[in-house]
Structure 1
Amino acid sequence: MMSELFQLIQKKKLKTTAIVGMTKNVGKTVAFNHIVKGLKANKIRAGLVSAGYDGERFDRLTLKEKPKIFAPDGALVATAEACFEAADAVLELIEKSSFATPLGPVLVGEVKKAGRVELAGPASVSGLLELVKTMHRQGADRVLVDGAINRLASASPAVSDGTILATGASLGPTMDDVVKKTVFRRTILETPAVEDDLLLSLAKEGLVSGNAVLLHREGNGYRVEAVREMIPLLAGAQLIDKCRRETAAFVFGGALVDNNLQDIMELYENPPVVIVRDATRLFVSPEIYRRYINKRGRILALQKINLIAVTLNPTDPMGRDYDPEMFLQVMSEALRPCPVLDLVLQKDNLS
């Protein structure tokens, strides 16, 4: 019998899925291994990849060894040379990639004997994309990408078809705090895509020749102005009046941070649309984000992240444990209609 999470992945026919943890001890590895087990049970060949490297063998609070990823026989694993050689699983080298890490080059291998592995890989979107392509080329039917909030490249739509967000009691001091932080992260990840075809094509075109783009209203369309950086442009006093009159949209090729939104709010009573490549480029606080939205500002993405589900861990090393069923109910109501799952509770209920 397939679990609800595995059914969601199969139903949506996801080739590459990112599992992103909001902080430590939220059950990300449990979710990762849960999916790996489902793939193995259904005779689907898995490819296991990581965005960057966690680097902590032991939990700082409990001093217990952190859970590792389980690699079943037949699966493909991409990890740094040091992790490859130290794996409990028996790995046969297939390919040496061009990606370098502090732990050596990333190697791709086939699991000959099941066991635990540590994953370490490229942290950039471009690097992950190439590695995911390599895994599919080498025969992986489904690729899972291990990520975290500080390693968000895994969730980029350029890399993965879908994202699973892991959250839990360790995220905050109270349940209310955990809920608020998770709801905000869900809101960010689900930043809507640009629906205006002309605006979308011009924004993409502009980013080819610059790190940022201004789209100015001109007749029934837009005039594209590609610039190297948005921050010096916004700081130029001589451009303020021009921006106020003409700008329909700001397009950021890199990260969007609080200062960017604050600058725009100072220039405009009714801010123009702000566009980012995807929601992994959004590094804004809840306070500034809400101020911008309350001023009727809109934030859109060239590509929308496909958030599949949120998984829960009601336990915390500091002892702030919640009743699993109550935590699930509260989070489900707060995040509706996004599916919310407690994989351990689900297993207990099925047994």
Structure 2
Amino acid sequence: MAAELDIMSLLNQNCMRNSTKAFYDLVSTTGPAHCPVFTIRVTVGSQLSGTGTGSTKQIARQNAVAEMFEKIVHDGRHVEWGLPADCEEALMIIDKWKAEISSVPVVLTQDSVKVSATQVNQAPSQLHAFFSLKGQIPPRYISVFPSFAPGYSTVRVTLSNGLTATGIAHSKKLARQIAAYKALKLLSATQDDSSPSESESAVPIELRVDNEDVAQNDEPEICERFIGNFPCMVTDTDETMEEPECADRLFEEYPSGAHVNLIIDMCRRNDWQYSFTYIESSSKIVFLCLPEDRVFAGYGAKVEDAQCVAAHQALMYFRMIGW
């Protein structure tokens, strides 16, 4: 039975059966503001407790519960909590839970998917210079209405080579910067004919987090801190676009459940592992994680809306790279 449930469901099921509750206490918050680490303690009754850490409070709570279940196994009380009688089998289930808990956060907190504020701020000028040096038409930026995420600005960039990318942020300026950065990221992946010196100077590939401040009035939210793996783009003259102009409207139309079904079907056909992970925030944020460290963010009024946006971003990415 335990193998069929996630760790929080098993905890809640046991608490309901025993007419008790799990209490969570925030022990500490460490690390820089852009990458906090939460430590949370869970207590059930007077004898059971566990402590866990994580990049979000939800992850820290899950790790705390996992530690508590490990203690239950070591105390020999795991059968009454719905775990297998064999201790090794019970611990294997807990290890599987811990791996599932940590799989997405590990991807999101690795250096390869973190970006410094300076790199994001400089992205529009780098993108402009990239095409100017080649004597090509500069990027063109378009403000998209309605925005993919309520309360956010959405800016799309179109490049002279036909590639596009989108940035989503609280401010139009930051959305533009994010889109430009994503365009550079996409260019680095698609331009096989670029010389090493050219690609290194114009298209950053490996990025690391630092403590540099973001430009004034532009404070990135949690999803913007992990834009390294989110495909999107922008341009150099601001326009307003009510209807996306694209021959294939399936990919350009407003994100919907059809996009979620398409990406799931793609994963099944290619035998890919995939997961939608919800991040606690004032707005609903969902990360779609695919093989090869591909991570796509979605924002929305509801979790379902955020999933649609994440799936839409993924489909746009695969379309851009000619999948």
Normalising by structure 1, what TM-score?
A: 0.24
Structure number with the higher strand fraction is 1
Higher relative contact order (Cα pairs below 8 Å, separated by 6+ residues):
1
Normalising by structure 2, what TM-score?
A: 0.25
Structure number with the higher helix fraction is 2
